[in-house]
Structure 1
């Protein structure tokens, strides 16, 4: 079987599996199939699995491998990956979670939505419709804990990052950068174009699973009024 990925060393205790490097749901499904295959076949030597758009990083315990298996880590992990992916077609993978995330697109929260509408000579309502009518795939989380990188936005919404990043973007802000959309889980500097805000907590270290979104999730944004936004925010 042709796995359609290439294995590259990443330091002395990790490797990265790379598929064709582009944003594509079919490619990401292959990433997630391999992720779930490796996770289902637990090994004491595998320390972490990190899926991304078109790659999967695998961190392993090179020191323990040298002590226990008497084999170089790269040789072991390469063989382990090849063997695991041979049988992954027979594994039942979990269905993607379907998440509906409320977003208020009021200009008081969507700091760039008025400018984005004006630059396209459309109404703010059009920006809201374009953004909320798509179901997005969560490709990875990163940058900030729990920041979900999602795509792809429709062509009418594609917008480059701001030339001048903001020093502070509020937690929950929903933004667009290129073909991606994402949510700032924490207040942070940032250069994405902010079109709204969710009242949900996207990262809560007190939870067993602190990140609201996970790679592979399917997300649809649900427009809510400012009043509903405040109400949900108070209930959090």
Structure 2
């Protein structure tokens, strides 16, 4: 997988790219991670990439020409038969990012992220260049670099071989549509707080049932909205009815 990030601050990305799961995945050749400074494609002697908005108003707007030129530069060496990349604009107006979208993007061969850092983007970037607009939440950040890093981290960890334990990503919160069940490790008792007996029983089938019930209970308590779209079995629905009854 190849991921390119168009940014005015590539140094923000490099620290993340070289650390933890992302760094290991890049070292293993699982993913290629590149930060591209689109100021290099400004086409003017002052390296200007923004300008005042037509019609007046505060702030500065990113010009279309450097962004288009940077993307076209990234695409120019690609073979004609190669699948075109998804070009993702990080912005507050985009679709709210979810684990389902992460799993979808993880199947792509090439992703290009565009990170703004001013008042906004020239609308022609949205209309004629990008394929997706994503937001990581209903709040405003200084630029798109941190949101892009968040999205990239969630995608790379889904690549085969990126995690030490391949089952980890499968059981994570949201991957099943539910919040994850609680975890415990040694010691079996800490300050009088004991690990649930079920987890010490060694009966893996019963442990799986317990974990599913715990995931359902935690989701019901903390994110009941997720239950509206989660794929629930008839047994899950019975458990939920019992849990709801015990709360009334």
- TM-score above 0.5, yes or no: no
Q: What is the TM-score with the length of structure 1 in the denominator? A: 0.25
Structure having the larger proportion of residues in strand:
1
Structure having the larger proportion of residues in helix:
2
Indicate the structure (1 or 2) with the bigger Cα radius of gyration: 2
